Structure 1
Amino acid sequence: MVYQSQSAGLVAYKAQSGLGVQASASAANLLRIAGGAGIKVSKAATESVEVRNDGLSMRGRHGSQKANSAYNGEMSLGSHDPIIEAIMRSTWDAVALTKTQADFTSLTTGANTIVLASGSPIAMGFRVGDIIRATGLPDAANNGKNLRITGLSATTITVAETLVVNAVADTSCSITRPGKRLINTVPLVKRYFTVEEYESDIDQSTLLSDFVWGTGKLSMAADGLLRFDPGGVGTGNAQALAAAASPYFTSPTAPTDVPFSVVDATIRFGGVDLVELTSFDLSLDIQPNAPVTFGSPGQKYSPDVFTGPLKIGMNLTMLRKSLAIFSDFLAETPYSLNVLAVDNMAEPKDFISITVPNFTLGGVDPSALSKQGGPRTQTIAIPPALVGLDSSATGNGSMISFQTTAP
C-alpha cells in the first residue's frame, strides 16, 4: 500500500477558452507553492426533517457542490503573472514604450529630473509610477538603471533616483518604459481556469474546471522572501482522476528565477523611501462568488462564478520616528505607494513594480509602551474603502498598476 506524503505533489493551471471548456493538457503553468489549504471541495448536507416515533433519523442527502482553492507561495520574476492578470480582469500590455530625440529633440538632466526640450512626457504615454530606463546619455551613471517616475509635467520627468546633473542638451538618447504593464481597464476580461493538484506518490489528481482566481495577497517581512498567496473559487466542477489519467497537464512550465528577496526591494510610501519598515502586506480581492442554484436534474454545482468590484487593502508596520503619519491620518492626506522588487543581478535589474496611486490612511496605531528594550512601532491600516482610482492627468486611471520585465 502506497500512501501520499506531504511534499510529493504539484499544482498546475491553465486558462480556459471560456466557461464550460476544460483547458487542453499542454502548455500549462506550474504554480510556485509554499503550502496553503489547496483545493477544497465540499457539499451541502441536506438533513431529513421527518419526525419519527422511534426517535431515529432518515439519512440525509448531498446538496450543492462547491470548490475553492488557496495557496501560499513565493514570488519570482513572472511566477504569478497569469494569476495577477486574471485578478485584475485586464491584459498585460507587452509593448515597451520607447521615445527618442525624434520625439523630444533633446534633453538635460537635473538631480532628480529629465527635462525635455520639446514634447510632453504625459502625451507620450509616461505615467507616475512607471519604471523607465535611459540609454545614450553622456553620463554613464544615468544610463541602464531603473528609474521610478514620481512626477510629470508638460516638459519634465521627475524620478526618485539621483541622477548626474548635466545641463548640456543631449540629442542622441532614448527613454524606455521596459517590459510589460498591467492596469485596470474596461471592458473587464473574465478568465476561467482548469487547476490540477497532482499527488505523485499515489499518482492521482484532483482537477477543477471553471475556476476563477479572485484573491491575492503580497506580503513582506524582515529577512524574508516576497510572498504571494493566490486563491479563488470554482463553480464546483471537480474530478478525481485515476492513475491512468494523472497528471492531467503534460510538462507544465515551471518558474525558473529565484524568489525576490525583501532586502533587494524598495518601498516608497507617501513620497519617501522607507528604511524603518518591519512588515507589509497588500491584498487584492474581486469577491468571487458561486451561487447555489437548482432547476435541472443532477445539477450539482453553480452555473458560473460571479465577481464584484476590486478591493485593495494594505497594512504596514514600521519604527515610530515622529507623528507626521498620524497627522496625515487626521488631515485625510492622500498617499501613494510603490513596491519595487528586483533580481540580484547587474544593472539594469529585472523587476516587478507595484503602484497603488491614491489612498488615505485608515489608522495609525502605536505599539504599547513597555519596560522592555527595543523600539516603539506603529501599524498603519489602509482598508479597501479608502483606496480609489487615480484619475489625474499624470495617472493611469487605475487603482493599482503592475510593471515587470518578465517575458
Structure 2
Amino acid sequence: MVYQSQSAGLVAYKVQSGLGTQASALSANLLRIAGGNGIRVSKAATESAEVRNDGLSTRGRHGSQKSSSAYNGEMSLGSHDPIIEALMRSTWDSVALTKTQADFTSLTTGANTIVLASGSPIAMGFRVGDIIRPTGLTDAANNGKNLRITALSATTITVAETLVVNAVADTTCSIARPGKRLINTVPLVKRYFTIEEYESDIDQSTVLTDFVWGTGKLSMATDGLIRFDPGGVGTGQAQALTTASSPYFTSPTGPVDVPFSVVDATIRLNGADLVELTSFDLSLDIQPNAPVTFGSGSQKYSPDVFTGPLKVNMNLTMLRKSLAIFSDFLAETPYSLNILAVDNMSEPKDFMSITVPNFTLGGVDPSALSKQGGGRTQTIAVPAALIGLDTSATGNGSMISFQTTAP
C-alpha cells in the first residue's frame, strides 16, 4: 500500500479559453507553493425533516457543490504574473517604451532629474511610478540602472535615485521603460482557469475547472523572502483523476529564479525610502462569488463565478521616529507607495515594481510603552475604502500598477 506524503506533489494551472472549456494539457504554469489549504471541495448537507416514530433520522442528501483553493507562496521574477494579471482583470503590456534623441533632441541631468531639450515625457508615455533605464549618457554611473520616476513635468523626469549632475547636453542616448507593465484598464478581462493538484506518491490528481483567481496577498517580514499568497473560487466543477489520467498537465513550466529577498527590496512611502519597516502586507481582492442556483435536473454547480470591484488594502509596521505620519493621518494627506523588489545580480537588476499611487491613511497606532528594551513601533492601516483611482495627468490611471522585467 502506497500512502501520499506531504511534500511529494505539485500545483499547476492554465487559463481557459472561456467558461466551461477545460484548458488543454500543454503549456501550463507550475505554481511556486510554500503550503496553504490547497484545493477544497465541499457539498451542502441537506437534512431530511421527516418525523419518525422510532426516534431515528432518514439519511439526507448532498446539495450544491462548491470549490475553492488557496496557497502560500514565495514571489520570484515572473512567478505569479498570470495570477496577478487575472486579479487585475487586465493584460500585461509587453511592449517596452524607448525614446531617443529623435524624440527629445538632447538631455541634461541634475541630482535627481533628467531634463529634455524638447518633447514632453508625459506625452511620450512615461508615468509616475514607472521604472526607467537611461543608456548612452556621458556619465557611466547614470547608465544601465533602474530609476524610479517620482514626478513628471512638460520637460523633466524626476527620479528617486541620485544621478551624476551634468549640464552638458547628451545627444546620443535613450530612455527606456523596460519589461512589461500592468495597469487597471477597461473593459475588464475575466479569466477562468483549470487548476490541478497532483500527488505523485499515489499518482492521482484533483482538478478544478472554471476556477477564478480572486485574491492575492503580498507580505514581507524582517530577514524573510517576499511572499505572495493567491486564492480563488470555482463553480464547483471538480474531478478526481485516476493513475491512468494523472497528471493532467504535461510538463508545466515553473519559475527558475530564486525568490525575492526582503533585504533587497526598497519601499518608498510618500516620497521617502523607508529604512524602519518591520513588516508590510498588501492585499488584492476582486470579491469572487459562486452563487448557489437550481433549475436543471442535475445542476449541483454554480453557473458562473462573479467578481466585484477591486479592493486593495495595506498594513505597515515600522519604528516610530516622529508624529509626522500621525499628523498626515489627521490631515487626510494623500499618500503614494512604491515597492521595488530586485534580483541579486549586477545592474541593471531584474525587478518587480508595484505602485499604489493614491490613498490616505486609515490609522496610525503606536505599540504599548514598555519596560522592555527596543524601539517603539507604529502600525499604519490603509483600508480598501481609502485607496482610490489615480486621475492625475502624470499617473497610470490605476488604483495599483505593476512593472516587471520577467518575459
Q: TM-score, normalised by structure 2?
A: 1.00
1:20 corresponds to which residue?
20
The AA in structure 2 aligned to 1:22 is Q
1:137 maps to which residue?
137
1:212-291 to structure 2, matched below 5 A, reads 212-291=212-291
Identity over aligned residues, as a percent?
89
Q: Say yes or no: does 1:5 pair with 2:25.
A: no
Please give the per-residue CA displacement for 1:226-258, whole angstroms capped at 9, x wherever unaligned.
Answer: 000000000000000000000000000010000
**Secondary structure of residue in 1 paired with 2:300:** coil
Distance in 1 of aligned mates of 2:184 and 2:23: 26
Residue equivalent to 1:66:
66
Deviation of 1:367 (Å): 0.2
Task: Output the CA distance in 2 between the equivalents of 1:264 and 1:374.
Answer: 24
What letter is aligned with 1:274? L
Distance in 2 between the 1:26 and 1:271 partners? Answer: 45
1:52 shift after superposition: 1.5
Helix, strand or coil at the partner of 2:84: helix
Write the distance in 2 (CA, Å) between the matches of 1:283 and 1:396: 20
Q: Which residue of 2 aligns with 1:388?
A: 388
Q: Which residue of 2 aligns with 1:117?
A: 117
2:211 is aligned to: 211
What corresponds to 1:406 in structure 2?
A: 406
Letter paired with 1:70: A
Q: Structure 1: give runs of 5+ residues left out of the alignment.
A: none
1:340 aligned partner:
340
**Alignment-mate amino acid for residue 41 of structure 2:** V
1:56 is displaced (CA, Å) by: 1.2
Q: Determine the structure 1 residue equivalent to 2:41.
A: 41
Determine the C-alpha separation between the residues in 2 that align with 1:170 and 1:371: 58
Per-residue deviation, residues 267-318 of structure 1 (Å, max 9, x unmatched): 0011100000000000000000000000001111101000000000000000
Structure 2: unaligned runs, 5 residues or longer: none
Could you say which residue in structure 1 is the equivalent of 2:76?
76
Displacement of 1:55 in angstroms is 1.4
Instruction: Please report how far the alpha carbon of residue 50 of structure 1 lies from its aligned counterpart in structure 2 after TM superposition.
Output: 1.1
Distance in 2 (alpha carbons) for counterparts of 1:254 and 1:106: 43
Determine helix, strand or coil for the equivalent of 2:328: helix
Q: SS at 1:248's partner residue?
A: coil
Q: Residue 98 of structure 1 aligns to a residue in which SS?
A: strand
Shift of 1:261: 0.3
**Inter-partner Cα distance in structure 1 for 2:359 and 2:301:** 38
Q: Secondary structure at the match of 2:341?
A: strand
AA in 1 matched with 2:306 = F
Equivalent position of 2:184 in the other structure: 184
Counterpart Cα distance in 1 of 2:350 and 2:35:
26
AA matched with 2:329: F
Who is 1:367 aligned against? 367
Question: Aligned partners of 2:125, 2:29: CA distance in 1, in Å?
Answer: 32
Partner residue of 2:324? Answer: 324
Partners of 1:270 and 1:369 in 2: CA distance? 27
Distance 1:96 1:147 in 2: 15
Please provide the CA RMSD for this pair: 0.4
> Which whole-Å CA distance do the structure 2 matches of 1:232 and 1:313 have between them?
17
Match of 2:356 in 1: 356
Q: Which residue of 1 aligns with 2:173?
A: 173
1:146 is aligned to 2:146: yes
Query: Which range moves more in the overlay, 190-199 or 49-58?
Result: 49-58
Q: Secondary structure at the match of 2:347?
A: coil
Provide the secondary structure at the position in 1 that maps to 2:280.
Answer: strand
In the alignment, the residues of structure 2 paired with residue 170 and residue 33 of structure 1 have an alpha-carbon distance, to the nearest angstrom, of 47
Corresponding residue for residue 202 of structure 1? 202
Structure 2 SS opposite 1:127: coil
Moved over 6 A (4+): none
Taking structure 1 as the reference length, the TM-score comes to 1.00
How far the C-alpha of 1:323 sits from its partner, in A, is 0.2
Which secondary structure does the structure 2 equivalent of 1:260 belong to? Answer: coil
How many residues are matched? 407
- In the TM superposition, residue 354 of structure 1 has moved relative to its aligned partner by 0.2
1:155 matched residue in structure 2: 155
Q: Distance in 2 between matches of 1:24 and 1:119?
A: 48
Match of 1:301 in 2: 301
Kindly state the Cα deviation for residue 25 of structure 1 after the two structures are TM-superposed: 0.4
